Structure 1
Amino acid sequence: MKNVVKKNTKPDYMYFSIIIAVKGVDLYFPQILVEYTTVDLSNNKFHGEIPNIIGYLKSLKVLNLSHNTLTGQIPHSLGNISEIESLDLSWNQLTRVIPQSLADLTFLEILNLSQNHLVGRIPQGKQFNTFDGYAFGGNPKLCGLPLPKRCSEHLQKPQPEGDVDEESGFIWKVVMMGYGCGTFLGFVLGLLMLSTGRPKWFIAIADAAEYVILTIQDRRR
């Protein structure tokens, strides 16, 4: 499945019958085309994470891992299976966000990620715009089209919270330092005035200010 060379000769079949879940429907195959590569491990008791090596099976047409107990995130490497037409990961315990790489699978016709614990915004674009809400149902923390649940603002326009908090903290520290210095200076000046009465320098400043104010008023008149 990693390196399958398509031949132009007549089709080559494996002569044994099998029932495979293809694109959401159980189909009976009296014989299977060799180039029709399928992995169906559904309805078992597999647990743990989906191995990244599956992403190297570039000629895979159908992948069905539904109805197991798989955990962890959906591997980004699944976006490398460029030939895949049907992907069913439903009825597991998968978590985290849906990889954006899945939206680039141009041949993907059937997708079922329902009944998991996926979170965040559903990727948009290309094939993902063709799927209905059934493909993502049973994930309460998923949002965005085609589901009716809208995504919150912090998911739509993520903000650099760390930078904002750091800047705000810096400004707050500067304000507190200025306030503290001003309070200390006022306290010292108050003690000087109380201990020495009205110092001459303070009276001189007050007289100068009064003179300036009176001069301005005279000019206006």
Structure 2
Amino acid sequence: MSQLTNLYLSGNNLNRQRPDSLGNMSQLTSLDLSGNQLTSTIPSSLFALPSLINIDLSDNKLQGPIPGSVYELQNLTDLVLSSNNLSGVVDLDKLLKLKNLYHPDPSYNGLSLNINNSVNSTLTNFHTIGLASCNLSAFPNFLREQAGLRSLDLSNNKIHGEVPKWLFHVGKDSLYDLNLSHNFLTNLKCLPWQNLANIDLHSNLLRGPLPISPNTTIVFSISNNKLSGEIPPLICGLISLQVLDLSNNNLSGLIPQCLGNLSNSLSVLNLGINSFSGTFTATFTKGNILRNLNLNGNQIEGQVPPSLLNCECLEVLDLGKNKINDTFPHWLETLTELQVLVLRINRFHGHIGTSKTKGNYPFPKLRIIDISCNEFTGLLPTNYIKQFGAMMNVDEHVKLTYMGQTYYQDSVVVVVIKGNEIKLSRILTVFLIIDFSRNKF
């Protein structure tokens, strides 16, 4: 096929064989072999094709170094090699000299970058930069020149200290995606980018108050840091917010009531493992799309907010390890999408009876229920347990998947299995738990 210009074979099961025959396609401009099972090294002949513009070999099992011939591809615009087993050194200075390149992505391999911060990269206007898991120890200086950058991923590196002020001018009016997670950053005073939508800063060492993101924010994850102080009410002005994850910090004070006003756009609200106190008074309106509410590990008092009845899309409700003083919230039975209910280590009390709804199972999709370490009394509600319909349906051919959507995977902070507390960072859809222990049944 010597005249072929575009070849797309992504998302198949191609494996083992080296794509040597592609070296004969002298007119090839676009090649996409992503999402296969290729295990070989990358043949040098592939990167010697003079017409190549777009290359995507991501999500395979390719090994060995990146052929040096890649630095000769003067027409190259996209070089996507992420999520393989590649090793060796990438000479980033040589890549910067490819003046048409606007999307380099060698992320999530075993590669190391050779960077000379004195190289002038003003001829290169990158659109997307993916340098995750590249053993970086500092912000590369070439970023200073990238005024039109739209996406920057420097996650899973070894970058320490304060975010430099010059980074605030990188893509100030264009940056859409920013991922600095899994580093050792200590200070980020503001998020000045005007059009930022997706912000991932989780798993750093960030201290001080919560930085407020721009009004364009859709996903804001800043969990697993050392932030302190209260949630500023300004956060309720983020009318496009879909995911807000502030978990595992030192935040305190009352949870702003106005967060309920965001429930028409908000899908995930995770405030777990902080020091929030008082009653949770957010009011969720009818027609909201809230899917995951996690308040685990705080000092919330009062009762379960009755407006949760309006959360018809709710799949995960985790109120564990608080000071909630209430009876069992039977009215949650009507939430037909609820799959995870965690009320453990609170002050719940009273009897748990059978469902009063004739002909319908209570909690039809419930797969994890943990009401342990409370003060429930009466007979063990075996008849109630027998009606958990989703726990009876066994599909031998079910595919192992995790709860949550592609942009946010659900987690349960702690479950107890055979007396041991185990943290679930992800929830398999076939995982079933009933824990009624440490009560007064």
Q: TM-score, normalised by structure 2?
A: 0.26
State the structure with bigger RCO (CA 8 A, min sep 6), 1 or 2: 1
Q: Which has the larger radius of gyration?
A: 1
Structure 1 or 2: more strand by fraction:
2
Structure 1 or 2: more helix by fraction:
1
